[in-house]
Amino acid sequence: MKRILVTGGAGFLGSHLIDRLVEHGHEVVCLDNLQTGNEENIKHLEERITFVKHDITNSFPDLGDFDEIYNLACPASPIHYQANPVHTFKTSILGALNVLELARQTGAKIFQASTSEVYGDPLVHPQPEDYWGNVNPIGIRSCYDEGKRGAETLFSDYARMYNVEIKIVRIFNTYGPRMDPKDGRVVSNFIMQSLQNKSLTVYGDGKQSRSFCYVDDLIEGFIRMMATPKEIQGPINLGNPNEFTMLELAKKVIRFTGNESPLQFNELPQDDPKQRQPVIDEASHILNWHPKVSLDIGLQKTIAYFVNRVEC
C-alpha pair distances (Å), 11 with each of 74, 125, 178, 261, 309: 9, 30, 8, 29, 17
User: Cα 165 to the chain's mean position, in Å?
Assistant: 21
Is 162 one of the catalytic residues? no
User: Cα 255 to the chain's mean position, in Å?
Assistant: 26
What's the rounded Cα separation, in Å, for the pair 188 and 184?
A: 7
Handedness of CA 121, 189, 211, 117 (dihedral sign): positive
Other Cβ atoms less than 10 A from the Cβ of 245: the count is 16
Other Cβ atoms less than 10 A from the Cβ of 89: the count is 21
Give the DSSP letter of residue 134.
Answer: B
Which is nearest to 212 in space by CA: 183, 188, 236, 182?
188
Helix (H) or strand (E) holding 96: helix 85-106
| Contact indicator for 71, 14 with CB cutoff of 8 Å | no
Q: What is the dihedral of CA 229, 219, 248, 311, to 10 degrees?
A: -160
What's the rounded Cα separation, in Å, for the pair 181 and 177?
A: 10
Strand-pairing partners, residue 62, are none
Catalytic residue among 70, 81, 119, 144: 144
Which is nearest to 93 in space by CA: 135, 151, 145, 142?
151
Angle between helices 246-257 and 295-306 (to 10 degrees): 60
Helices (H) and strands (E) in the chain, counts: 9, 13
Active site residue ranges: 144
